[in-house]
Structure 1
Amino acid sequence: MVKTNNKIVLLLLSGFFIVFEAWAQKGSIEGVVYDRSHNETLVGANVIIEGTTTGTITDFDGRFTLSNLNPGTYNVLVSFISYQPVILNNIKVEPNKSTVVKVELEEITTAIEGVTVTAARKTNTEVAMLSTIKASLTVASGISAQQITRSQDRDASEVIRRVPGVSIIDDRFVVVRGLNQRYNNAWINNASTPSSESDQKAFSFDVIPSAMIDNMVIYKSPSPELPADFTGGFIKISTKNMPDENFLSIGYATGFNTSTSYGNFKQITKSKTDWLGFDDGTRNLPADFPSTLKGLTNSQLASLGQKLNTSWAPQSVQAVPDQKFNLSFGRKWQKGNKRLGNITSLSYSNTFETEEVNHSEYQVQLVPGQEPPFNHNYTDSIFTRKVKIGLLHNWSFFTGKGSKIEFRNLFNLIGKSNAIIRNGLNGHEGFTIRSYQDNFQNRTTYSSQLGGEHRWGDNQKNKLDWVTGYALSYRNEPDLKQLRTTLQDEPLIPHYNEYYAAVGITPSVSDAGRVYMKLVEHIASLGVNYERKLKIGNWEPTLKSGTYGEFKARYFDARILGFAKNSSYTESVWLPIDQIFSVENINTSPDGFLLRESTSKSDSYNVSSILGSAYIALNTNITKKLSFYGGLRAEWMNQILNSYDRYGRPVKVEDDGIDIFPSANITYNFNEKNLIRLAAGISINRPEYREIAPFYFYNFTDEAEFVGNTNLKNCLIHNYDLRWELYPNTGETFSVGLFYKKFNGPIELVFKPAGARPLFTYNNAEGAYSFGVEVDLRKSLQAIPMLKDFYMVLNASYIHSKVIFPEGSIFRNRPMQGQSPYVVNAGIFYQNDKNNLSVSVQYNVIGDRILAVGIPFQNQDQDIPDYYEKHQHLVDITVSKEFGKKVEIKAGVKNLLNQKYNTYQPFIGSNNNDLIMNNKLYEQGITFSLGANLRF
């Protein structure tokens, strides 16, 4: 049971007390916008109080609400594209009451001089996003589809970099407020997302193409209706749904990367369907392959080894420039007030990447100031082909009577093949080696939700929304092959300057290993939310309550095979790499090889979890300018993991308990353009399945092993936010925010002393804290005549964090693992509607952060330093030109500065300076792209 923080509880109770002592004095304007000729409601019409930036858009039933208005008289402007605008004059707003109006717009059928028609604001525009953020009951940030189209961002992981305080790890894992992916939660539309990662607590954002996104909102403060398992941010991705009009869109783009070797690209194993993102069976075990090789005769082992795919040598293939296709269409049917709409989008991309990575690992630094000896010093040539197929298929039905039903489906398939050729020094053993890895992985994600929203009663004071969802994550890595060869560098011994296969009499994953891994995760969910506008005398609060249930099951299985010698060293190991494991060399003779199995019970695990939650919340005004939103959330979690330790003993890890999470959000509106928010709440961070599973995994790319920790505990976090927001003009904003977070038992990836290779596991630190400041600016430059078509965006965050250790501990002072000390996103945008030309220059940088925590060794002068990722300055340029209404040409340059990706360890240098030793160093290249899009 979570012990709640007294300050938060006091704040929450005080808010409720003040609410009941001081009833609201503000009023509101509500209404419905109709088409006068057809008596049908209009979706997405602009409704704005004249002379201010306060406004909204009509929902799918044509309804709107302008709330939190001071008593007085207002003029309301209502506009919609192709309709004549209407001004409602002298609308009287009284305290604690809602003024109801009916608006009828007349369609413009002829040219009317002097009439200005304002385009509709919808959920996918920047203005609509700013309105959403301003009206939010919590601290939030977001990005719209309109801004996404002005960049080269290919998927959600790249899009979300543009949001204040957000950055990316490994091209797909989101970091919010400098906190790494484990502290963030993500939903697609209104349901939980699956994880396709076997060793990460995160949703892989690269599975959602950017063209499928309507908007993204990141909630940064706890709220009763949001899951408690987030601390940095709760990310809600809304995919496209009801089309504005019937359309068909076809797009094609191509590009090339300066670091990719298109003429000398390497692959080891290929199948006929790799271009579709999945293997055709070439890499799979034969259908009649036994479930275990243990206990079989040598003759049977030799026969089975001969049946496997024996391709080990890299082959040159002709890589082509990036290819990207997309096809989207939308249809809308309408009869009276009823509407039915469908949006379907299909996308495909095929890319090739080449990287030359300098990869080093170090032993203990014996003498401060001197470079530590190498554990290994390699150069990795990495050849990667990635194929993505995405399908979005959404339906919407609006009854015209306060109800809508939505059916949303998202399918994504990613196929990734890697060939790695490694050369260099294995310092631990003192050999020069040449190793090979052949890896193919297929990740499939499917998410489906059926949901609805219903309103009824006077002024629709009752609202009920519900969603039922199913999600599937499937990850398959068939035949992960790894082979190590060693250089014979003694001139007087035969085979001088030749490489021999380092194959022993027992199988080894790294020497001649073959690993087959599968992960399957199912998620079923059901959520219901009810909202009721009450009237108690002069007090008109809104009461919200709801429940959410989720069942999750994950199954992970790894099978580890390998070739081993039948006897002592033989001449066959000096053969070329493409002949070593040929069929004729896999036999029972003394100089032959046999396929053996080293799979243990700990190489698989299964997990099931049930999450049940319920909340109650209150939203109301306290005074004319002060409003309160807060409540309580209860979550029951039952999680059971079953596996085995490395000695074959059963392991069962169970977490069962009910936790209570209070939260409170207070907003003070100085006027229509200024407001300040104060928020507090408790959240939780639970261990991920892989982090508690006792499964040892050798990662060839990192030349390291990873293992879970069955003793991990939940981490409790107290969150506090203070933010001032300014909305000077339509489409402009400026905000400054402060936040503070206190962690009880944060979970971190840490180094664990072991043998020849680094070993990493997960531990709870005693405690930690982080505090920071965020700045968000969006400003038009139209006041400067020469820059009237320009506007700028700036998001910057500075964060300080510190881990707390027990008194007398030898551990060094340091930030939290995964914490970025600063994040900066900036952009200059040029938009000339007359010439249909737009240009954007966008910049991003994140500060150095700890990827994995080191450990003191013997004393603080002889330790393993923390592993850091160095900052990179990223600059992207995009130019887009429209020709008429049907053709758009877009060109771009990505990663213009081409700074090297760099991870490092700060050892002890002379004069108390750090001695920086690089772990990984490589160029990612500059990407040039050119594409066209046709819309019919």
Structure 2
Amino acid sequence: MRNTFKQKVITLVGLIITTHSIAQVGSITGTVYDKTHNESLVGATIIIEGTTLGTTTDLDGHFEINNLKPGHFNLSVSFISYEPKVVKNILVEPNKKVKLYIELEEVTTAIEGVTVTATRKTNTDVAMLSTIKSSLSVANGISAQQISRSQDRDASEFIRRIPGVSIIDNRFVVVRGLNQRYNNAWLNNSSTPSSEADQKAFSFDVIPSSMIDNVLIYKSPSPEIPADFTGGFIKIFTKNMPSEDYLSIGYSTGINTSTNLNSFKQITTSKTDWLGFDDGTRNLPQNFPSSLKGLSNSQLAEYGKMLNTSWNPHVTTAIPEQKFNITFGKKWQKGNRQIGNITSISYSNNHQTEDIAHKEYQVQLTPGELPPINHNYTDSVFIRSAKIGILHNWTLLTEKNTKIEFRNLFNLIGKSSILIRNGFNGHEGFTIRSYQDYFQNRTTYSSQLAGERKWGENLNSKIDWVIGYALSYKNEPDMKQLRTTLQDEPLLPHYNEYYAAVGLTPSVSDAGRSFLKLIEHTSSIGINYEQKLDLNGWQPTIKGGIYGEFKTRSFNARVLGFAKNSSYTESVWLPTSQIFSLENINTSPDGFILKESTSKSDSYDVNSILGASYFALNTNITKKLSFYGGIRAELVNQKLNSYNRYGLPLTVNDNKIDVFPSANLTYNLNDRNLLRLAAGISINRPEFREIAPFYFYNFNDEAEYVGKSDLKSCLVNNFDLRWEQYPNTGEFFSIGLFYKKFSAPIELVFKPAGARPLFTYDNAESAYSVGAEIELRKSLKAISLLKDFYISMNAALIHSRVQFPKESIFRERPMQGQSPYLVNAGIFYQNEENKLNIAIQYNVIGDRIQAVGIPFQNEEQDIPDYYEKHQHMLDLTISKTFANNIEIKAGVKNLLNQKFNIYQKFKGENNTDMDLSNKQYKEGLSFSIGANYKF
């Protein structure tokens, strides 16, 4: 009993002493700033000298070290690319907080009087969140650090992990469910080149992921960015100044379950296909005439013999995917200047096979009944692609707060493919077997010379400028197409089962040859000036600038085809490998001759001039409420010269000045929460191809496409409301609402036109889109077992409607390309001690209209819209670093392997939908493994 009482007394005394001891501690808190820019630094390291106590700054640059015994301490503060600083003799008193304001300078080393300047890191997750928080408008982004955790090979793959972003055709970006035409992209503060003849979009598959520093997507209009965007304005920044000297070499390989190590077919090949370009095998001979019209039949036969007429597929084995990359980074100190260079070269070679079920339907006459089949095909596709990418960037930094950059990006993509089609053509009533032999080379080059200078007291004045040039080249030499038809009646033994559908006049789909070439040059210049003012305590910042862009495009298509010499030609019954042999190209009744079917409308020339200027104001209205906004004016002059389908000259000359106001309000609820409200007007202008009268036969879709010269621009009113929260360093949460009102939106629409579908472009009367977005990035370190895990998730829910006059037979529907929902999610494991990273990432987008149908006579008899069905995508990536310089990465893409499906919603019984598939296939699982060694 006494022992128990004694133990209680001892325990009580101990608690009193402990409590008194705890009460006699203090703490050090503060904020770390960039001295030059007066911006808080995220992730700076704070250490109590002589101890292991320390912390890092959060997203607001704040830090706090608690439970310090009273006394004097020295505080060491460091941050990469900044001069370390020691705050000495800090007195900590009992039960008190010491508050510090610490400034760091962007100077890393001082050697013999030489000042070394540096740039801050922009490729980390923390840096990206800091950029989003300090942005003056609604924005999202992705860093190189996050990209490295995936298997994404190029920009088109990793960019879909940004909130509200998805991908069409594996290369075109869709933001907030709005298709590629409503988005704009710049590369390093200059307009991007486009090699797409048929798309108003930048093809994001031309930029390897290894060359990216970060990507930002602005979702609300601002005075300093172009007005020709509605979904998102995408800024892609390539790698620039290295933080250290290094040489990195990487190799990876992979197999796809549907393709690699299986049989693979090719028809025409050249010795340089593996490098992404044709060695001239597919080109027209040098002495080939510019036109075959007016030549004699004997001349036409001789010229026909000059072409490659082989239709005999040869079988090989699809080797595993091959990827190589080498990157070099180097810094030099020259007097008071620092010079840095990053050079990167990447190469990949890949095979792909697809077995596609391809159907097309005619008009449904009775709800609930299957519509007649227009065609029912099985397409076997064999694609080999090669990519070469070269990045070569230089940066010069001086002690006078001046930076000059010279950036270069070159990409070459070559794709050779054959398509073998079998099935029933319901429109003509024949069973057919068709072939396409196709090669495409896309080359893009982008170069910018840019500079930035700051001066004045506290560096309150800033000017930056950029001069850019971009080249886009697309070459499709000798795209061959051949159609054969099954003969129903018994044939003599030496006849083939299928005969070539060659007529007396050439047809691009039956025995046609197309030669297409696009060349586009873009020159640009931009200058921006920024001034911070102090007007009796009011400290606004004013910005202004000008931008000019001149673009020219030349597109030429030459269409040839073989025709038979008489109504009955026995040669059409020969096997496909023999039909167009040299002995059969002659003027005899059983022979073939080459003819020209090129029309004047198969070529067009376009040039456009864009001149823009803006003025913007950034200021605090109250201590917590800030305003950023202004006005932008754009002058656009667009000229097109071509011919209509009847051979008559066609000229489009659009010259207009538009004014675009915008406003962004930011309310800082506290250090970790802010509210944004944004409004502005943007525009969506017709692209060159959309106003060109060129008729193009698309063999893959078994359809034709043509432009419309009287398309109008679409004006859009944009409104955004978003709440952002930054709980801890590296964590983020946001929820937002947006509304967009479209006047005369431009869409791809279907029109019935005989044997094949015809797609063209048209303006609807109006449309609207309203949606909600949510994003979460959260560490699980609060749970001890999950301390190395974090989760990332973003989602969007969107509702849109295209509106028509009440008397119109057109039905209201979602906008073309608009997804009703998008979800990206991932769980990541990062163990710094073991240097092990594991990532599981998920992506899905809701069903969206790929092309708009059209009513036929009345709304009960129409062509339904073409929808792309949602796919659930799941990827797994594992990486491990050994000895600090060897990284092994392995993974699986498309673990669920769901079908890609294009379908149409026909009318079922009792007002139900009857979904009938138009195209569907499986892409297969992709396994990869690779290594990267850094010297």
Normalising by structure 2, we get a TM-score of: 0.90
Q: Offset of 1:858 from its aligned partner?
A: 1.5
1:249-260 → structure 2 map (5 Å cutoff) = 249-260=248-259
Cα separation, 1, equivalents of 2:871 and 2:133: 32
Distance change in 2, residues 1:509/1:90 (3 Å): farther
Is 1:31 matched with 2:35? yes
> Hey, what does 2:9 align to over in structure 1?
none
CA-to-partner distance for each residue in 1:130-188, whole Å, 9 max, x for gaps?
Answer: 00000000000000000000000000011101100000000000000000000000000
Question: Does the aligned pair in 2 maintain the 1:735–1:776 contact within 8 Å?
Answer: yes
Question: Does the aligned pair in 2 maintain the 1:76–1:89 contact within 8 Å?
Answer: no
> Hey, what does 1:651 align to over in structure 2?
650
Q: Offset of 1:122 from its aligned partner?
A: 1.6
User: Structure 1 runs of 4+ off > 6 angstroms?
Assistant: 47-52, 88-91, 104-108, 492-497
> Hey, what does 2:790 align to over in structure 1?
791
Q: Offset of 1:263 from its aligned partner?
A: 3.5
> Hey, what does 2:864 align to over in structure 1?
865
1:579 is paired with a residue whose SS is coil
2:557 is paired with a residue whose SS is strand
Cα separation, 2, equivalents of 1:831 and 1:29: 29
> Hey, what does 2:899 align to over in structure 1?
900
> Hey, what does 1:751 align to over in structure 2?
750
Q: Offset of 1:105 from its aligned partner?
A: 9.1
Cα separation, 2, equivalents of 1:132 and 1:212: 20
1:911 is paired with a residue whose SS is helix
Q: Offset of 1:290 from its aligned partner?
A: 0.4
> Hey, what does 1:39 align to over in structure 2?
none
1:422 is paired with a residue whose SS is strand
Question: Does the aligned pair in 1 maintain the 2:45–2:56 contact within 8 Å?
Answer: no
1:113-132 → structure 2 map (5 Å cutoff) = 122-132=121-131
Q: Offset of 1:100 from its aligned partner?
A: 9.8
Cα separation, 2, equivalents of 1:688 and 1:664: 28
> Hey, what does 1:932 align to over in structure 2?
931
Question: Does the aligned pair in 1 maintain the 2:183–2:230 contact within 8 Å?
Answer: yes
Whichever residue aligns with residue 849 of structure 1, its letter is: R
Distance change in 2, residues 1:90/1:288 (3 Å): farther
> Hey, what does 1:194 align to over in structure 2?
193
Question: Does the aligned pair in 2 maintain the 1:487–1:497 contact within 8 Å?
Answer: no
Aligned CA-pair RMSD: 2.4
Q: Offset of 1:885 from its aligned partner?
A: 1.3
Cα separation, 2, equivalents of 1:644 and 1:85: 70
CA-to-partner distance for each residue in 1:864-913, whole Å, 9 max, x for gaps?
Answer: 00000000000000000000111110000000000000000000011211
Is 1:314 matched with 2:319? no
Question: Does the aligned pair in 1 maintain the 2:216–2:236 contact within 8 Å?
Answer: yes
> Hey, what does 2:611 align to over in structure 1?
612
> Hey, what does 2:875 align to over in structure 1?
876
Cα separation, 2, equivalents of 1:792 and 1:477: 44
Q: Offset of 1:429 from its aligned partner?
A: 0.4
Whichever residue aligns with residue 79 of structure 2, its letter is: S
Q: Please identify, of 768-777 and 851-860, the stretch whose mean Cα deviation from structure 2 is larger.
A: 851-860
Question: Does the aligned pair in 2 maintain the 1:482–1:511 contact within 8 Å?
Answer: yes
> Hey, what does 1:46 align to over in structure 2?
44
Distance change in 2, residues 1:808/1:28 (3 Å): farther
Whichever residue aligns with residue 584 of structure 2, its letter is: N
> Hey, what does 2:365 align to over in structure 1?
366
Cα separation, 2, equivalents of 1:692 and 1:89: 72
Q: Please identify, of 491-500 and 829-838, the stretch whose mean Cα deviation from structure 2 is larger.
A: 491-500
> Hey, what does 1:24 align to over in structure 2?
none
> Hey, what does 1:718 align to over in structure 2?
717
Whichever residue aligns with residue 560 of structure 1, its letter is: V
Cα separation, 2, equivalents of 1:792 and 1:705: 46
Cα separation, 2, equivalents of 1:417 and 1:105: 51
Question: Does the aligned pair in 1 maintain the 2:432–2:483 contact within 8 Å?
Answer: yes
Q: Offset of 1:571 from its aligned partner?
A: 1.4
Question: Does the aligned pair in 1 maintain the 2:83–2:108 contact within 8 Å?
Answer: yes
CA-to-partner distance for each residue in 1:244-297, whole Å, 9 max, x for gaps?
Answer: 111000000000001115341000100000000000000000000000000001
Distance change in 2, residues 1:477/1:318 (3 Å): same
Cα separation, 2, equivalents of 1:50 and 1:547: 44
Q: Offset of 1:599 from its aligned partner?
A: 0.2
2:305 is paired with a residue whose SS is helix
CA-to-partner distance for each residue in 1:166-222, whole Å, 9 max, x for gaps?
Answer: 000000000000000000000001100111101000000000000000000000000
> Hey, what does 1:440 align to over in structure 2?
439
Consecutive unaligned residues of structure 1, counting only runs of 5 or more, are 1-26, 34-42, 58-74, 92-98, 109-118
Question: Does the aligned pair in 2 maintain the 1:353–1:385 contact within 8 Å?
Answer: yes
Q: Offset of 1:813 from its aligned partner?
A: 1.9
1:544-563 → structure 2 map (5 Å cutoff) = 544-563=543-562
> Hey, what does 1:820 align to over in structure 2?
819
Q: Offset of 1:87 from its aligned partner?
A: 5.0
Whichever residue aligns with residue 484 of structure 2, its letter is: T
Whichever residue aligns with residue 211 of structure 1, its letter is: S
Structure ranking higher on relative contact order (CA contacts 8 Å, 6+ apart): 1
> Hey, what does 1:147 align to over in structure 2?
146
> Hey, what does 1:622 align to over in structure 2?
621
CA-to-partner distance for each residue in 1:474-510, whole Å, 9 max, x for gaps?
Answer: 0000000000000012248888880000000000000
Cα separation, 1, equivalents of 2:888 and 2:718: 46
Question: Does the aligned pair in 1 maintain the 2:77–2:84 contact within 8 Å?
Answer: no
2:690 is paired with a residue whose SS is helix
Question: Does the aligned pair in 2 maintain the 1:174–1:181 contact within 8 Å?
Answer: yes
Whichever residue aligns with residue 44 of structure 2, its letter is: N
Number of corresponding residues: 869
> Hey, what does 1:525 align to over in structure 2?
524
> Hey, what does 2:469 align to over in structure 1?
470
Question: Does the aligned pair in 2 maintain the 1:488–1:496 contact within 8 Å?
Answer: no
CA-to-partner distance for each residue in 1:352-396, whole Å, 9 max, x for gaps?
Answer: 000000000001111110111110000000000010000000000
Cα separation, 2, equivalents of 1:820 and 1:54: 33
CA-to-partner distance for each residue in 1:683-720, whole Å, 9 max, x for gaps?
Answer: 00000100000010000000000000011000000000
Question: Does the aligned pair in 1 maintain the 2:43–2:56 contact within 8 Å?
Answer: no
Q: Please identify, of 541-550 and 851-860, the stretch whose mean Cα deviation from structure 2 is larger.
A: 851-860
Q: Offset of 1:790 from its aligned partner?
A: 0.2
> Hey, what does 2:686 align to over in structure 1?
687
Distance change in 2, residues 1:120/1:303 (3 Å): closer
Cα separation, 2, equivalents of 1:361 and 1:633: 46
CA-to-partner distance for each residue in 1:592-619, whole Å, 9 max, x for gaps?
Answer: 1000000000000010000000000000
Question: Does the aligned pair in 1 maintain the 2:260–2:319 contact within 8 Å?
Answer: no
**Who wins on radius of gyration, i.e. which is larger?**
2
1:473 is paired with a residue whose SS is strand
Whichever residue aligns with residue 606 of structure 1, its letter is: D
Cα separation, 1, equivalents of 2:106 and 2:410: 41
> Hey, what does 1:63 align to over in structure 2?
none
Cα separation, 1, equivalents of 2:817 and 2:381: 25
Cα separation, 2, equivalents of 1:189 and 1:47: 30
Q: Offset of 1:84 from its aligned partner?
A: 5.8
Cα separation, 2, equivalents of 1:51 and 1:432: 71
1:712 is paired with a residue whose SS is coil
Distance change in 2, residues 1:267/1:508 (3 Å): same
Question: Does the aligned pair in 1 maintain the 2:338–2:398 contact within 8 Å?
Answer: yes
Question: Does the aligned pair in 1 maintain the 2:476–2:517 contact within 8 Å?
Answer: yes
Distance change in 2, residues 1:681/1:32 (3 Å): closer
Question: Does the aligned pair in 1 maintain the 2:43–2:729 contact within 8 Å?
Answer: no
Q: Offset of 1:106 from its aligned partner?
A: 9.6
Q: Offset of 1:310 from its aligned partner?
A: 1.4
Identity of aligned residues (%): 71
Question: Does the aligned pair in 2 maintain the 1:790–1:828 contact within 8 Å?
Answer: yes
Distance change in 2, residues 1:121/1:47 (3 Å): farther
1:363-402 → structure 2 map (5 Å cutoff) = 363-402=362-401
> Hey, what does 2:218 align to over in structure 1?
219
1:577 is paired with a residue whose SS is coil
Cα separation, 2, equivalents of 1:90 and 1:549: 55
Question: Does the aligned pair in 2 maintain the 1:50–1:76 contact within 8 Å?
Answer: no
> Hey, what does 2:94 align to over in structure 1?
none
Cα separation, 2, equivalents of 1:244 and 1:188: 22
Q: Offset of 1:338 from its aligned partner?
A: 1.6
1:44-83 → structure 2 map (5 Å cutoff) = 46=44, 53-55=58-60, 78-80=78-80
1:670 is paired with a residue whose SS is strand
